[in-house]
Amino acid sequence: MSVVKEFKGAIAFLTIFPTGEKSLSSAIDGMHYFPIVGAFIGFLTGVFNWLITRFLSGLLASTFTIGFLLLITGLHHIDGLADFGDGIMASGSKEDRWKAMHDVNIGVGGLILTVIIILSSIFAISQLTLNILIQSLIISEVSAKLSMVFLALISKPVYEGLGASFIKGMRGKKGIIKFFISLVFSLAIALLLLHFSGFLMLITGLLTAIIIFIISKKKFGGVTGDVFGAVNEVSRMASLITVYWVVSWI
């Protein structure tokens, strides 16, 4: 498969932007480009924030910024986060938790988790100074996408579905090479923009992926597509909090 087709597939899967490439296999084959697409998403989000901060207060601008980010990513991953929250809070067997995740109605667990992640992200963005805001938004998205690639590398699927397709695409030496490429892309972007702080943001995202992987294995017996969505959202939030914490201590 061509590089262009893989890259267009990654953009089509991660955003609402039409690329003319609708094949899921293109996105799977192009997972190593996820961090680059994340950088593009973060850049657009950062520019949006930079523009509206001229007219709105920091907290309000941050709220609209997260709204813009969720809009251009199609609410795809935040939906997975809500389902993940419902699943981990459901009682009973692993099968009962799977059913809770597939319920079209959002439960209390999913609602509370989603609200906490969104509000924490908004607060973290509102605390960042303008001289590092765009860089932080770029790297937080890079970190979120790298975490998804890493999760696919280390996971096993619960059942056949969207998540299983991405996990299968990362099996064997091919998967290790894909992760290495995505890691190189991520490190280059993070170190160029925020140096050591950017590096810590990536580490935070990877640690978040490991934690969610452990929770998913215990609660569900493996990883589903919804878990990938949760990793994306939680890793972004954790990365933003990391850069806020680092900056506040310097």
Where along the chain do its domains lie? Answer: 76-249
Q: Nearest 5°: CA angle at 137, between 187 and 27? A: 65
Mean pLDDT (whole number) for 7-30:
86
At residue 106, φ and ψ (nearest 5 deg) are -75, 135
Mean pLDDT (whole number) for 130-136:
94
- Distance between terminal CA atoms of the chain? 46
Q: How confident is the model at residue 124 (pLDDT cuts 50, 70, 90)?
A: very high
Tell me, what's the pLDDT at 202? 97
Residue 200 near residue 247 (C-beta atoms within 8 A)? no
Tell me, what's the pLDDT at 92? 76
- Smallest CA-to-CA distance from 164 within 94, 88, 225 is with 225
Q: Nearest 5°: CA angle at 120, between 141 and 209? A: 50
Low-confidence winner among 99-103, 114-118, 173-177, 194-198 (lowest mean pLDDT): 99-103
pTM over 0.75: yes
Distance, C-alpha 241 to centroid of its chain: 14
pLDDT in tens, 186-229: 999 999 999 999 999 999 999 999 999 999 999 888 898 899 99
Mean pLDDT (whole number) for 39-59:
93
Tell me, what's the pLDDT at 248? 77
Residue 101 has pLDDT above 80, yes or no: no
Distant-in-sequence, close-in-space partners of 150: CB < 8 Å, separation ≥ 6: 179, 206, 209
Residue with tokens 């996820």: 34
| 133/57 Cα distance (integer angstroms) | 15
pLDDT in tens, 163-184: 888 899 899 899 999 999 999 9
Residue 185 has pLDDT above 70, yes or no: yes
Residue 54 has pLDDT above 80, yes or no: yes
Q: How confident is the model at residue 79 (pLDDT cuts 50, 70, 90)?
A: confident
Where are the alpha helices (H) located in the chain, listed in sequence order? 3-14, 24-29, 34-52, 58-72, 76-89, 94-102, 108-126, 130-154, 162-168, 172-220, 225-249
Q: How confident is the model at residue 95 (pLDDT cuts 50, 70, 90)?
A: confident
